Chains A and B, each alone.
Chain A
Amino acid sequence: MMPVTGTTDTHSATPSHDAPAREGAPLPAAVETPLLSLHGIRKQYPAVLAVDGVSMAFGAGEIHAVLGENGAGKSTLMKIIYGAVRPDAGHMEWNGRPVHIGSPGEARALGIAMVFQHFALFESITVAENMALALPGKFDLKALARRISEVSERYGLPLNPARPVHELSVGERQRVEIVRCLLQSPKLLIMDEPTSVLTPQAVQQLFQTLRQLSAEGTSIIYISHKLDEIRALCQRATILRGGRTIDEVDPRVESERRLAELMIGRDFPETQRRPHHTGKVALEIMGLSVPGDGPFGTALAKVSLQLHAGEILGIAGISGNGQAELLAALSGERPVADHQAIWLDGQPVGTMSAGERRRRGLAYVPEDRLGRGAVPPMSLADNALLTAHRQGMVKKGLIRHAAMAAYAGETIRQYDVRCGGTVAPAQSLSGGNLQKYIVGREIGQAPKVMVAAQPTWGVDVAASALVRQRLLDLAAQGVAVLVVSEDLGEILEVCDRVAVIAGGRLSPARKVSETSADEIGRWMSGMFPDPAAEAVAVATAAAAATA
C-alpha cells in the first residue's frame, strides 16, 4: 500500500491557498484520529483542473456535508474516495494509516459505501435478487431476504424483499440502495444528492435513519445543494469552490444565505416577487388521459388544469409520476388523440404538432438540455435557429445567418451566458450557462405560454437565481408560465399557485400562500382530494355563502 504520488508527508505538504482552510486546526468533531483524511488531493482532467490540492478529514460517526456549485469538484472528490477515479497527486489515510484505493471493490472492502444519485437497479427482478447481485459471497436468497428485513426494520426503512423493483416508487428504490449499502455494515457512507427524489416526509424519515447510523459510529458524507437540509442534518460542512477548499464551517450556526455566499463567492441575489394578478385562461387542459410512455411509464388519468395569463403555476411531484407524459402532451412532442383536451390561447390544439403549437405562442424549456433543448455539436447560433426560426431567420426556405447570429448574441448578452461566442458548440457550455441560453432563447420569442420543466435542475446557485427571476419577470409581463419541478423549494419561491402530480393524477391547484410544504408533501404521495369533487364543494360553499 503506497500513497499515489508525490507528497508523502501530511498537512505541511499541502499547497497553500489564497483562502486558507482550517486544515491545520484541531478538528472539532474528531479530536481522535479521523476515519478518513485526504491530503493535497489533486486531479487534472484534459480541460479542467477538477480538484486542486484538497485536504479534509471525516471523523468517526460524523455527518459531514460537502458543499459547492456544479464544477466545484465535489463529484470528482467522491469518485476518488470511492476508488472510481485516480488522483494525480496527494494521498489518503484510513484510520491514520496511508491507504491506496484503486477500485470501487477495494473501497467496499475497506467499508466505504456510496448511494448514487441515479440508481443502478434491474427493473424486472426482485429487491432481494438485486441485492444478491451486488453482494459478494454465496447466493442464498432466503438468508438474504431475512437479513434485508432485519436491517430495514432496524433503521426504519420498510422494504419487501420479494417485490419486483419496477413496482417500487423512487423513494422505495432509494431505500433499496441504502439497505444494500447497510448490509455491508459500512464505516463510511457517501450520499450524493439523496433527497432530490423524496417527499418532505420521506426526507425526515431518511434523516432519522442517518442520525441513527451516525450515533452507531458510521461516518456519513452528505452531498446536497439544499442548504436547509444540510443545516438540519450535518455537523460540519466543507465548502468547495473551483476545486479548492474554501472554508469549513458548522452549518448549524451559519445562515443559509451565508452558506450560499461561501459557495458562489459573492453576494447572493434574491428573487423579486410581484403581486399575483391573473388574466384570462391561456392554457387549459380538460380531462386529459394518455397511456404511459413505455412499460414503466405512468398513464395520465383525467388531468385538468387552468393556467392564466400573468400567473406562474407550479406542478410539484416526484419524477416518474406522469410529468414526462404530461409535458410530451403539452409541448406537442406527442400529440394526443382528443383535439379538445388541450386548449392554447382559446383554441383546441390537442392533435397539433409541436411546431404548430409554437406558432401559436407556446415556448418550452425541456428538462434535458443537451440532445433535446439543444443540439450538442451545433453552435449556439444554430441552436437559436432550432426553435426561434420564426424570428426572421428564414427567408424563402434559406437561412439568414446574420439574423441567427444577432439573436444568439443578444441572448448571450442579456442572460449573461459564459461561452466562446455564438459559434461555440452547445456541448462546450456548462449546464447552467446552457440553461440560461435555452431559457433566453425561448423567452426571446415573446411567447404567450411558457412551459418550463425542471428549469434549475443541476444548475448552480447563481444561474438558478437568474433563471427564476426571468420567469417571474415573464409572468409580470402577462405571460402564462407553467413550472414543472421536483424541487419544492423552487416552486414555493416562484409560483403563485401549485398543484401536485402523483400516479398520473393531478391535484387541485392551491394558492402557494394558502398551503404548506407539509400539505404538498402529503399530496405527493397521492393523498389529495379529487379535483372534480373539490370543484363541486367550492361551488356549493360559494352558493351557501351567497344564500
Chain B
Amino acid sequence: MMRLVPRAEPSQRMLLVAPLLAVLLTFLAGLAVFASLGQNPLAAFKVFFVDPLSDMNGVSELLMKASPLCLIALGLAIGFRANIWNIGAEGQMYLGGIFATGLAIHFNEHGGAWLLPAMVVAGAVGGALWASITAFFRANFHTNEILVSLMLTYVADLLVKFLVYGPWQDPAANNFPISINFGEDALFTLLATFGGDWLEGTRINTSIFITLVAIPLMWLFTQKSFAGFQLAVAGAAPDAARYAGFSEKRMIWLALLIGGAAAGIAGVTEVAGPIGNLNDRWTPGYGFTAIIVAALGRLNAVGIALASLLMALLYLGGEAAQISLQLPKAISQVFMGLLLIFLLGCDVLINYRLRFEQAAAR
C-alpha cells in the first residue's frame, strides 16, 4: 500500500527548485507528446521552444504576450497570498478593455496626449469596479469569491458582445462584431518608432513599461508594506489575523480591487496595443492563464515575471506548431496543463513523503 506521510520540515530550497523541476518534467513529457503525435520529438521541440525566439520579432512577440500575463498575475498573487481566490481576472480584463474603448471612441476625433493615460486609469477603474461586485458580496454576505468572480466573467463576455454587436459596432465593418479602430492618441507607441533598426517591424510598445514598474511595486507591497503583511497573515493563519484585529473586510476589498485594477490595465494594454479596437474575441484567455503564472511564480514578483515569460513561450510555441507542424491548437493548453500538474505534484512531494507499506497486519 502507498501512503502520503507529512514531512517534518519541508525543504525551503526545494520549494524554489520545484517550479524549475516542473518545467523540466514538462519538457520531457512534451517530447513524449510529440512522439505520440508522430513527430520527430527533437525537431518538434525545436519548433515549439527554440524557433519562436530565434529573431528579434519573436522576442518582441514573447514580451507582448508575457506583459499582460505578468501584470494580471502580480495583482492576483496579492489576493492569493491572503487566500482570496479571484478567478475572474478574465472578466475584469474585459471591463478594463470596455472602459478604455469607451474613451477611445468618444474622443476619437479630438484626443490628445492625455487620452492614453486617461484610458489606462479608466481601465483600472473598470477592472476594479467589476471585482468590487465580488468583494461586496464576499465581505457582506460571505459568498464564495471563486464562484462569483468566475460567473461574472461570463457576464463580462456578454457585455463585450452586446457592445460590439450593438452600440459600439463600426458602421463600416460590414456587420462584423468590431468597434472602430482607435486613433493615434488612443494607442500605445511602438518602441520601433523611437529608432533602432534592430526593432524594425516588431509590435512591442510602451505598455511594457507599465509591467516593468509593476514588478518592483508588487515586491515592495508584499515584502515591505504593512498591508501586504496583513494579507499574508490572513492567508497563513486567518484566526491570527482576527486575533490581531486586522479587518477582514478591508483585506477582501484590498485584494480584489488590486487584482481587478491590474487586470483592467492589462485589458487596456491589449485593446490599445496590438489589437487596436474592441471585438468579441480579442483575448486568448490571459486572465485564466495568469492564475497558472501566479502559482508557478510562487506568488512572488520575480517568480511571476519569469513564469509569465515561460507561459508566453507556450502560446508562441503552440502557434508555431500549428503553422509548421499542423498540430492542433490545443497543444498549448496541453503544455500548460502538464506544467500545472507537474508543479502541483512537486508541491505534494515537498510537503509529503511517499511511504510504501505492506498491508497492515490486523
B and A form one assembly: yes
* Partner-B contacts on A (CB < 8 A): 45-47, 102-103, 105, 331-333, 353-358, 364, 366, 368, 371-378, 382, 385-387, 389, 394, 397-399
Shortest CB-to-CB span from A59 to chain B, Å, is: 30
- B143 at the A interface (CB under 8 A): no
Instruction: Say yes or no: B243 contacts A331, CB within 8 Å.
Output: yes
| Interface members, chain B 1-58 (any A CB < 8 Å) | 8-9
Contact string against A for B residues 286-303, beta-carbon threshold 8 Å, 1 for contact and 0 otherwise: 000000000000000000
Number of A-B pairs whose CB atoms are under 8 Å?
73
- B233 at the A interface (CB under 8 A): yes
Chain B residues with Cβ below 8 Å from A397 are: 225-227
A374-B237, A374-B240 known, 9 other contacts, Cβ within 8 Å = A46-B8, A103-B362, A354-B244, A354-B245, A368-B239, A378-B232, A394-B226, A397-B227, A398-B224
Chain A residues with Cβ below 8 Å from B244 are: 354-355, 358, 386-387
Cross-chain contact of B239 among A364, A372, A398 (Cβ < 8 A): A372
Alpha-carbon gap, A362 to B314, bound state (A): 54
Instruction: Say yes or no: B224 contacts A399, CB within 8 Å.
Output: yes
- 30 A-B residue contacts at CB 8 Å? A47-B9, A102-B361, A103-B360, A103-B362, A333-B242, A353-B245, A354-B244, A354-B245, A355-B244, A357-B245, A358-B245, A366-B243, A371-B240, A372-B237, A372-B239, A372-B240, A372-B243, A375-B240, A376-B236, A378-B236, A382-B229, A385-B226, A385-B229, A386-B233, A386-B240, A387-B243, A387-B244, A397-B225, A397-B226, A399-B226
| Smallest CB gap from A370: residue in B | B237
Contact string against A for B residues 240-252, beta-carbon threshold 8 Å, 1 for contact and 0 otherwise: 1011111100000
Shortest CB-to-CB span from A66 to chain B, Å, is: 25
Chain A residues with Cβ below 8 Å from B361 are: 102-103
Alpha-carbon gap, A364 to B225, bound state (A): 25
Instruction: Say yes or no: A399 contacts B225, CB within 8 Å.
Output: yes
Shortest CB-to-CB span from A444 to chain B, Å, is: 15
| Smallest CB gap from A427: residue in B | B9
Chain A residues with Cβ below 8 Å from B247 are: 353, 355
* Partner-A contacts on B (CB < 8 A): 8-9, 224-227, 229, 232-233, 236-237, 239-240, 242-247, 360-362
Alpha-carbon gap, A59 to B237, bound state (A): 47
| Smallest CB gap from B246: residue in A | A355
Alpha-carbon gap, A22 to B84, bound state (A): 59
Alpha-carbon gap, A374 to B227, bound state (A): 18
Cross-chain contact of B243 among A47, A373, A377 (Cβ < 8 A): A373
| Smallest CB gap from A353: residue in B | B245
| Smallest CB gap from A328: residue in B | B242
Given contacts A333-B242, A357-B245, whether A389 and B226 have CB atoms under 8 Å apart is: yes
Instruction: Say yes or no: B233 contacts A333, CB within 8 Å.
Output: no
| Smallest CB gap from A334: residue in B | B242
| Smallest CB gap from B227: residue in A | A397
| Smallest CB gap from A376: residue in B | B237
Alpha-carbon gap, A333 to B247, bound state (A): 10
Alpha-carbon gap, A331 to B240, bound state (A): 12
Chain A residues with Cβ below 8 Å from B360 are: 103
Instruction: Say yes or no: B8 contacts A45, CB within 8 Å.
Output: yes
Chain A residues with Cβ below 8 Å from B243 are: 331, 333, 354, 364, 366, 372-373, 387
Shortest CB-to-CB span from B235 to chain A, Å, is: 10
| Smallest CB gap from B242: residue in A | A333
Shortest CB-to-CB span from A352 to chain B, Å, is: 9
Chain B residues with Cβ below 8 Å from A374 are: 237, 240
| Smallest CB gap from A378: residue in B | B236
Instruction: Say yes or no: B245 contacts A355, CB within 8 Å.
Output: yes
Shortest CB-to-CB span from A427 to chain B, Å, is: 9
Alpha-carbon gap, A45 to B8, bound state (A): 9
Chain B residues with Cβ below 8 Å from A389 are: 226
Chain B residues with Cβ below 8 Å from A376 are: 236-237
| Smallest CB gap from A398: residue in B | B224
Shortest CB-to-CB span from A50 to chain B, Å, is: 12
Cross-chain contact of B233 among A45, A364, A378, A399 (Cβ < 8 A): A378
Chain B residues with Cβ below 8 Å from A377 are: 236
Chain B residues with Cβ below 8 Å from A371 are: 237, 239-240
Interface centre among B8, B229, B360, B362 (most CB of A within 10 A): B229
| Smallest CB gap from A333: residue in B | B242
Instruction: Say yes or no: A356 contacts B245, CB within 8 Å.
Output: yes
Alpha-carbon gap, A373 to B242, bound state (A): 10
Chain A residues with Cβ below 8 Å from B227 are: 397
Shortest CB-to-CB span from B353 to chain A, Å, is: 10
Chain B residues with Cβ below 8 Å from A353 are: 245, 247
Shortest CB-to-CB span from B74 to chain A, Å, is: 18
| Smallest CB gap from A362: residue in B | B245
Alpha-carbon gap, A355 to B244, bound state (A): 6
Instruction: Say yes or no: B8 contacts A354, CB within 8 Å.
Output: no
Chain A residues with Cβ below 8 Å from B225 are: 397-399
Alpha-carbon gap, A356 to B247, bound state (A): 10
Shortest CB-to-CB span from B330 to chain A, Å, is: 38
